[in-house]
Each structure stands twice: as C-alpha cells, then as structure tokens.
Structure 1
Amino acid sequence: MKPLTRLAPVVMLLTLGLLALQPANAVTVIDPTNLVQNILTAVRTMEMINNQVSQLQNETQMLLNQARNLAKLDYNAVNRLRVTLASTERLLAEAQGLAFDVQRLDREFARLYPAEYASGISGQRLAQEARERWRSGLDGLHTALRVQAQVAQNLALDESVLSELVQLSQAAGGALQATQATNQLLALQAKQSIQAQQLQITQNRAIALELARQAAAAEEARELRRRFMGSGTPYTPYPVQFYR
C-alpha cells in the first residue's frame, strides 16, 4: 500500500497539469478524485497481476524441480553384478571331492576321515582312502585358486561399474536419480562382500581338508603300527652264553 500512497500526489499533479494545459474553450469537467481512484485501481490491478505472474512462475519452477526429483536413472548395473557373482557360484558348484552339501559331506567325511579304523579293514582299503583324501585336498586347493582367479577377473568389471555409478551420482538431476545411483553402489558393495565370503569359504575349505588329512594319516599310521606289532606277547631279550 505504501507505493500506492506515494503515487497519489503524483497522479494529482499530473491531472492538474493536464487541466492547466488545455485551452479555456476545451476544458472538460473532470472529477479529480474519481480520476485518482481510477488510476489507483489500475495500479492495484497491475500489481495484483504481477503478483499472480510471480506466483505462477514459482509454481512452474516447483513443478519442474519435482519432475527432476522424480526422474528415473537410465542405468542399471544389477544384471552385470549378478553375472559376475554367478561365475564364482558356478565354481563352487563344480567343486569335486567333499561337497558343500551338509548331509553329503557328513557321509563322505565319516568314511574318509574316521576317528578310529576297524580292525578288519584291509590294507588295500586303507591305501584307497588315503588316495581319496589326497585327491580331496588337492581339489580343495584347486577350487580356492579358481575362485581367486575369477575374483581377480571380476575386479576389472567392478571398477568400471563403480566409476560409472559415481559419475551418474554426481550428475544426478534429482533426488530419485541420486537415490537410485546410491542403491546400486550399495548393491556393488554387497556383491563384493558376498564374493569375499565365497573366496574365504574356499580357502578355509582347503585348510580344513589338509588338517583332516593329517589327522586321518596319523590314525592310519597308528593302525598300521598296531598291525605290525601284532597282538601276541612281544619278544623279551635275555642274555645267552655261547662259550664257557
């Protein structure tokens, strides 16, 4: 209202000036008060229109910001992460020897790594099981090395995905794009964590197989020694005199 109040004297002066410039025979009867009110009303109307225009511009900008915040990220790295993770899972499924299935592992472990050998077991059976234990340990080491090699190959792809996601996150035009980029970065981190667990499993499996083989070899040696010594009365040395 202050701008309108300041305009009132100016409008009055302009009105009086126009009246003074007109010739005497052309003077028109004008109500100054009515003229001032009309001019003030027009000024108020213009200000109202300007305010409405500003409001519409603000609402338009708000809608544009909401549209940017709701825009989806045109990038999805989840399928690529699944492919690389499936490569290490396939290596675990192809592992020979003692399986990763609990029930099957219990049966094979009880057969190849007994806590005590039966007295009736043959020497050929002992040799055969010892060779199977050696093969299981060798397979454990082979599986661990294969998983290590596959993880090393996957690192190049992980670095590429990480670089692309960071760039997309920094260039995100809205909150939804930034959130989606962050979620995919978390998916990459989870994938690497699972891959590290798979690698740790294969390494620990190889170590466990070697320790079990050593324990079974000790028990086998004890059984062979018992058979060699026999179950009868051991020989007792005593002095013998050959010459009187």
Structure 2
Amino acid sequence: MIARKMRRASLLAAALSLPLSMSPLMTMPASAQWIVYDPTNFSQNVLTAARELQQINNQIQMLTNQAQSLINQAKNLASLPMSTLSQLQSTIARTQSLLTQAQNISFNVQQIQTTYSSTYGAAPTTGSNATLFAAAQTRWQNSVGAFEDSLKVQAGVVGNITTNSTAMTSLVSASQSASGALQAAQAGNQLLALQSQQLSDLVAVLAVKGRADALEQARTAASESQGQQQYKIFSTRSGYQPGNVTMFSGN
C-alpha cells in the first residue's frame, strides 16, 4: 500500500511538471457536462425510498397475517376425520331388538291393558278348577318370561360397555388433538351422543326390571284373589249328607 501511494505521488508530480503548452490538449471541451452532487436532494430521495420500502414491508406483513387468518379459518372449519354415529346406532338397535323380544306381554300400552284385565283382574266367581289353574299357569309363565327378558337385556347392556369404552377413548383422543373449533365441537357432540346411548341402555334395564317386578307382584295379588274366591266357592257348598255305603258285596 505504501508503494502504491508513492507511485500515485510520482504520477501527480510528473503531470504537474508538464509545460503549459500541453494544457490545451488536456482541457475538456466547453460543451462537456459536469455531474453535480446535491446532498439535500440525495437525502430526500433516500428518505422517500425508505418510506416506500417500509410500506412494502407493511403490505407484506398484512398479506402474511391475512394468509394466516385464512389458514386458521380453514382449520376451524375442518370436519372431524372420524365418526362413531353408526357404532352408536348399532348399539341402540341391539338393545331395542332385545326389548321387542319381550315374551307374552310386550311393551305396548294397549296390549298391557287388555292382558292385565283378562289375566290379572278379579278372579271369576264361576268356572271349573281347570280354568282357574290355567289362568294361574299363564300368570306364572308371564313372570318367568319377564325375568328372562330382564336378564337378556342386562346381558346386552353389559356387552355394550366394551364397545362404548372404545368409542369414548377414540372421541377423547380426537377432541384433544382437534386442529380447530369445528373438530372440537363435533367430538364433544359425539361424546354427548355416547352419553345419551348409555342413558338409553340404563332406561332399558330399569324398564325390563320394573316390568318383571310388576308382573310378579300382579301374579301374587291375582293368586291371593283367586285363593279367596276358591275358598268362598268351597265354603258355600251344601253340607255333608250321610248315606248307606256297601263295603263288601253280598253282606
């Protein structure tokens, strides 16, 4: 670097030592243009460029925010990738099928009224012992069938516990990993549907258990009424009339 500076100084000294007669060759024409540096104008241009750059950056940031907002909206509108509706419907259908298999007296208000009046009403004042025995046998069969129906429904509901547990685990996992509001809401709705299905199973168990208890209580009451009627018929018969009895032939 020192040698370079010394070389520049030597060239400058040689140029200054040239005769003045050579100056016309070194002078520039009168029509040549000079570059003028204006510090004020340069500063204004720099400030203007800086402001425009800032506006561009602001617009870029605004577009970025809008894009992120659209992405968030898309996540909020995304549907849950799973559904347990068909599974819950199958479980409810199994319980309903067991209820429709109710023996002798089904879960029908009109049939219950008709059967109760004819089978569990007041004991008839007339009729043979065979008729009374047949009515008692029918009531006994109704009670036994009702207890069997109750056991079937209870077994079916217990079998649904495993299926419901699997569905609940899947829905809770989907709710916790939901990417948006819609997925979380749908997972919550399906959890409520699962809870409703479990409540319906509980109602079914209580219904068949109550039916069995009611039929047994009705059978007991009807048996007491029949016993009272049979005793009344027996007590109103005519008294004993003595008569001759032949014990051995010829004597």
Conserved in 2, the CA contact under 8 Å of 1:70 and 1:175?
A: yes
Aligned residue identity for 2:68: Q
2:55 pairs with 1:78: no
Cα offsets for 1:57-116 (capped at 9, x unmatched): 1111111000000000111101100101111111110111112111111111111111x2
Name the SS for the 2:94 alignment partner: helix
Q: 1:232 offset after TM fit, Å?
A: 5.3
Count of residues paired in the alignment: 210
Question: 1:119 pairs with 98, 122, 125, which one?
Answer: 125
Which segments of 5 or more consecutive residues in structure 2 lack a partner in the other structure?
A: 1-27, 241-251
2:68 pairs with 1:69: no
Task: Report the TM-score, using the length of structure 2 for normalisation.
Answer: 0.80
Q: 1:231 offset after TM fit, Å?
A: 5.2
Name the SS for the 1:195 alignment partner: helix
Name the SS for the 2:125 alignment partner: coil
Which segments of 5 or more consecutive residues in structure 1 lack a partner in the other structure?
A: 1-24, 235-244
Question: 2:44 pairs with 22, 34, 37, which one?
Answer: 37
Task: Report the TM-score, using the length of structure 1 for normalisation.
Answer: 0.82
2:60 pairs with 1:58: no
After TM superposition, which residue ranges in structure 1, 4 or more long, deviate above 6 angstroms? none
- Paired position in structure 1 for 2:209: 203
- Paired position in structure 2 for 1:129: 135
Q: Distance in 1 between matches of 2:69 and 2:104?
A: 64
Tell me the percent identity. Answer: 38
Q: 1:121 offset after TM fit, Å?
A: 2.1
Question: 1:213 pairs with 219, 233, 242, which one?
Answer: 219
Q: Distance in 2 between matches of 1:42 and 1:233?
A: 133
Q: Distance in 1 between matches of 2:195 and 2:221?
A: 39
Aligned residue identity for 1:97: N
2:184 pairs with 1:194: no
- Paired position in structure 1 for 2:104: 97
Q: 1:233 offset after TM fit, Å?
A: 7.6
Conserved in 2, the CA contact under 8 Å of 1:98 and 1:109?
A: no
Instruction: Pick the structure with greater CA Rg.
Output: 2
- Paired position in structure 2 for 1:154: 160
